[in-house]
Each structure stands twice: as C-alpha cells, then as structure tokens.
Amino acid sequence: MKLCRFLTSQRETRVGLLTAEKHILDLSDAGVNNLTFLLEAENPLQQLEALSQRNPARFSLDQIQLLSPVEHQEIWAAGVTYLRSKKARMEESNFSANAYDRVYSAPRPEIFFKSLSEKVIGPGEPVGIRTDAQWNVPEPELALVINSRGTIVGYSIANDMSSRDIEGENLLYLPQAKIYHRSCAVGPCIVVGPTETVARTWLITLQIYRGDGIIFEGQTTVNQIKRSFEELASYLYRSQTFPHGAVLLTGTGIVPGDDFTLLPDDRVRIEVNGIGVLENTVIMV
C-alpha cells in the first residue's frame, strides 16, 4: 500500500493511496485527514486495506500535486552504513578518515539530525546546493518511517543533499554540510506492508540529468546496508522520544566520482523499485 499526501486544485492538503494504475484514492472521504493517525494505528496495513475497499473518490496524478509524506516527524539520518560511503569519505578527508573507518564497524552507528519536518522538500520541488560550497552531491537513500513507539511502519525515498568539501574539511562541519535550506527531500509516498527481507531486495538507482543528457548514473541494492533496520531504529530511539514518530535515512551506497559536483538546473532522479521515483531540480541556496 502506497500512502501519500497531496494538494488538490483547490489547494487542500489530503491523504491518499497511490494505486498501481497511477490514481490517487482520496482517504479524506473516509474521514482520514492525516498520515500520523494511520502510522500510529495498531495495524496500519489492515486499516489501509479496509479504507481502500470503501470506494473512495479518485484523482488522476495530473489533477493533483504530490507533497512530501512527512507531517510532524523529525528527520534523522544514519551515515557510513555502506562500504561505498565509508571509502568515499575516507578519500575525501585525511583529517577524518580514521573516524569514518571506525564508525563503519563500531557497535554504535553514526546517526545525525537532518531536518525539521516543515523544511522537507517534496517531489518536484527544488533541492539546494550551498553558495559557499564547491563540491555538492545528492545522496539517494531508503528512508524508514517509524511511529512514536519505535516500530518501523513503512519506507520512503530520501535525498540527503551534502556538501563534500565542507564535510571533508573538518568532521565538526558535518551539520553545515548536511543541514541547510532545501537539503532534504522525501517522497513520493510511504510504502506500508513490506518486511525488511522484502525491502532488502529493492534496487536504488540514481540518475542525474544535465541539459538533455545523463551526466551520472549509479545503482546499489538496499541489501548492501551493513546494519539491520531494527538496529538503526533502536539506536535512534535510545534515551529519546519522538511523539510524532521519526523518519530515518539509512545512508547512501551511491557516490559519484570525486570530479563530480552538482550544478544549478541539474535534475536528480532517485528510484527505489519497491517504492517509486523521487525527482527534484537543483537550485543555489
């Protein structure tokens, strides 16, 4: 089941289900006005199946605008969870190489704050590169959607936009490299139902378009993530509360070559075959 938020032509925000035929079933007909209500339910999948049987009104995708499927959750991110990410960061920084090497195999994962919910960028909205950075990349990541009780209830796609020169200069600059205007995109929906075993079979594909061509393309599998989803989620919830739930990005396994940097007007297309496509254009911020 693919849960989404969307804007009607009357600019009303609604909750819906994306169908295989690329329609949206409007769950507001059944009295559902927010995602959190469903994500906090005892059995969200069962609820969604029951709601979809009620014959709700449907929209075609060209009648609506998809919004990020994030309401009030804090967005956090795990890092250096793929071997590719560890290697890239060790190359990017002599200064911090030892820290990246250690955190990859340490019991405690790297987890950092990424975004407030109100700053998250949705499908089709521009993501940003910093004006004071020279080396900027997208990080295509599987996102875990977790309820207030710490249960993983679904999956989405995220882009953890990052400035590699700022991060590489000094590890203490990580928040500036990672948390800035338009640095976090999530969408297009939350897939509810698949187990971790199923999610680990998914492919993540990144394509970056410049002008009429593709300037970079890369692929990885979710199964390359070194740690289990439960492990990542349980560390996030240690000595911490998330009254509205949380979204946890699981790290990147696709890193363009060291000579690559994003430019304004590039289009970043991230596909996770079990979820859908998240696409955003790049602007300077």
Listed in sequence order, the residues at least 6 apart from 257 whose beta carbon sits closer than 8 Å to its beta carbon are none
Residues making contact with Mg ion (CB under 5 A): 139, 160, 252
> C-beta of 267: minimal distance to ligand DO4 in Å?
21
> C-beta of 77: minimal distance to Mg ion in Å?
5
Written as six digits, the tokens of 213 are: 């061509």
Q: Is the CB of 51 or the CB of 127 nearer to ligand DO4? A: 127
Q: Is the CB of 80 or the CB of 246 nearer to ligand DO4? A: 80
Rule CB under 6 A: say whether 220 interacts with ligand DO4: no
Which range binds ligand DO4 by CB under 6 A, 22-30, 74-82, 182-190, 266-274?
Answer: 74-82
> C-beta of 59: minimal distance to ligand DO4 in Å?
35
Residue 277 interaction partner, one of ligand DO4, Mg ion, none, beta carbon < 5-8 Å per kind: none
Q: Is the CB of 175 or the CB of 243 nearer to ligand DO4? A: 175
Choosing from 47, 73, 85, 147, the residue that interacts with ligand DO4 (CB under 6 A) is: 85
- Closest residue to bound ligand DO4 by CB: 79
Rule CB under 6 A: say whether 232 interacts with ligand DO4: no
From residue 234, how far is each of 38, 55, 223, 229 by CA, in Å?
A: 21, 38, 19, 8
What's the burial of 60, exposed, middle or buried (CB within 10 Å: 0-12/13-18/19+)? Answer: exposed
Residue 110 interaction partner, one of Mg ion, ligand DO4, none, beta carbon < 5-8 Å per kind: ligand DO4
Q: How far apart are CA 219 and CA 143, in angstroms?
A: 16
Rule CB under 6 A: say whether 204 interacts with ligand DO4: no
- What is the helix (H) or strand (E) element at residue 49, kind and residue range? helix 44-52
β-bridge pairing 267-272 and 276-284:
antiparallel
Bridge partners for 111 per DSSP: 78
Q: Is the CB of 6 or the CB of 104 nearer to Mg ion? A: 104
Number of residues that bind ligand DO4 (CB under 6 A): 11
Subset of 118-147 contacting ligand DO4 (CB under 6 A): 139
Rule CB under 6 A: say whether 79 interacts with ligand DO4: yes
> C-beta of 80: minimal distance to Mg ion in Å?
9
- Closest residue to bound Mg ion by CB: 160
Neighbours of 141 (CB within 10 A): 31
Residues in the chain: 285
Residues 234, 236, 240, 241, CA torsion sign: negative
β-bridge pairing 127-129 and 276-284:
parallel
Helix H segments across 154-255? 164-169, 174-178, 196-199, 229-236
* Binding footprint of ligand DO4 on the chain (CB under 6 A): 77, 79-80, 85, 89, 110, 139, 160, 174, 251-252
